[in-house]
A = this chain, B = another copy of it.
Amino acid sequence: MIVSFLSLPARETKPRKTGLTVLLDNGVPTRQFIDTVDSFHEYVDLIKFGWCTSVLDGDLGQKIEHARRRGVESYFGGTLFEKALLQRKLEHFRGFCRDFGCRFVEISNGTIDLSNREKAAHIADFAKEFQVFSEVGYKDVQRSLELSPAKWIEYIREDLAAGAQKVIMEARESGRSGICRADGELRYGLVVEILDSGIPPERLIFEAPNKDLQVYFINRLGPNVNLANISFGDVVGLETLRLGLRSDTLLLFEERGK
């Protein structure tokens, strides 16, 4: 940050425990990846290589190393875990994570037929070696809609009990599934029930791939909410929202200060 003349809300310095910004690499070319990391690493905590994009990226190692040197850790989207499990290649997946020096692993059941209990067993297993992010919610919007708030909360608790460090609330890259409806509207009732359940918000990561979602969570939980699926083009935009530097949150921290 270069400006000193404005009063801004406090943010943890990196490595942060809360207020995480998790970028989504959906197939970003190598120099653009480096450009974004070099320009804005201060505002980025983690980069997720979305779904199985990692296995098609010939510069994967170079990207991960470059980000790490700037204080940004990387991990692979849960869909890679699911694909490997489908093909009975879980040990290869584990080796893949090891080979790239990953400290984090994402475990999900967003697409494949895997009960939360079975998912939790995999979380427990991977938690012996990695910091595990688990995910609750399905890629299919209808399946997600049929998952009641009570079940949703139960699954979050089961994942945390199994050893997940944080649990990700599914919204996809589109913001049109999981905690969102097919038309992109947030399922406010679901989110309120989750937040009122007593689960500490710092153990949750909300996928928030558009401005409306980001504004909602910052309004509701403050600048230090954990947000994921942030596109490479939105790093600074999100940080301005967190800090009350864009119209949508401009008055938020001013008014609270009064």
Contacts and interface: CB of A to CB of B under 8 A. Distances in A.
A5 B233 contact: no
A195 interface: no
Identify whether the interface residues of A are mostly helix, strand, loop, or mixed: helix
A26 B7 CA distance: 21
Contacts of A7: 87
Contacts of A9: none
Nearest 3 interchain pairs by C-beta: A27-B236, A3-B55, A5-B92
B26 A236 contact: yes
A51 interface: yes
Nearest to A39: B29
A10 interface: no
A52 B235 CA distance: 13
A65 interface: no
A30 interface: yes
Given A82-B250, A247-B110, A250-B79, A233 B6 contact: no
Interface in A48-80: 51-60, 79
A40 interface: yes
Nearest to A82: B250
Interface string A1-30: 111011100000000000000000011111
Nearest to A177: B247
A57 B247 contact: no
Copies of this protein, total: 3
A218 to B, nearest CB: 15
B246 A52 contact: yes
B27 A38 contact: no
Tell which of A83, A86, A111 has the most Cβ of chain B within 10 Å.
A83
Given A39-B58, A55-B1, A111-B250, A27 B234 contact: yes
Contacts of A96: 3, 5
Interface stretch (A115-123, A161-169, A219-227, A237-245): A237-245
A246 B111 CA distance: 9
A56 B3 CA distance: 7
Given A39-B29, A250-B111, A89 B6 contact: yes
